[in-house]
Amino acid sequence: MRVFFRNPLALSGLIIIIAILILALFAPLIAPYDPNFIDIDSILTAPSTKHIMGTDGLGRDVFSRMLFGAQISLLVGFVAVGIATLIGIILGSIAGFYRGWVDSLIMRLVDIMLSIPTFFLILAVIAFLTPSIWNIMIVIGLTSWMGVTRLVRAEFFSLRQREFVLAAETMGASDFKIIFSHLLPNSLTPVIVSSVLGIASAVLVESGLSFLGLGVQAPTASWGNILTDGKEYIQFAWWLSLFPGLAILLTVLGYNLLGEGLRDILDPKNKNN
């Protein structure tokens, strides 16, 4: 913690993330209006004291929709990264511990997945499914596990011949115990960093899918579909594009700053530690 609070970039990222999480968690209390309430008398109203971020083409309050959109974007990020991390840890542990043909098989699968552009793969899968938040989270998670797999595998290769692992094997510990009690806890540092950075990527992917109409469907608010609404009125309703764009920018920036800060702090080679 001492090193963390001396790192201004990591601290800035943490502050941004905490602020966005608070706004998302307390959106029902903070939002001045129902995000789906249509007010035909306030269509495309510019930012004012009544609507601090203006209204959209249906008269809905943009600030309220931004708050509830934060819930969707962050939920997708956390769940998708959780799925990807779980798959990556399992496959990376198996490949790094057993090696041989098991490792070759898993790494060829990783190579195949990495050879396919991830975003286009997600687009192709989503096109055959009913667009929904759960489908988006699952698809993003199932197409984002390769990096974690390679990280865990590399850490297992480094730790496999260490004295404490050999001692556990000599004492008759099972493979399961060696993996989950000795190897995996010592391999989580790069996984934590990768997961934090992965949330930023998942938020970007969800926003892109929603912008293209393949993500969260109306009337549910997400930053991506608010941007889509703004595309039609960009010449005279600038606030519909500016505010969701800034929200995505700050969220991704916050997670990237935190991830890079954690990488510096958790790196044992860092002399500041």
Per residue in 4-48, pLDDT (tens digit) is 778 888 888 899 999 999 999 999 999 888 888 888 888 888 888
Which CATH number is 2-30+56-266 given?
1.10.3720.10
Q: Is the pLDDT of residue 135 over 70?
A: yes
Burial (0-12, 13-18, 19+ Cβ within 10 Å), 147:
buried
The amino acid occupying position 71 is Q
* Token pair of 58 as six digits: 């249906």
Per residue in 211-245, pLDDT (tens digit) is 887 777 777 888 888 888 888 888 888 888 899 99
Q: Is the pLDDT of residue 112 over 60?
A: yes
pTM for the model stands at 0.85
For the chain, the domains span 2-30+56-266
Comparing 66 with 162, the larger pLDDT belongs to 66
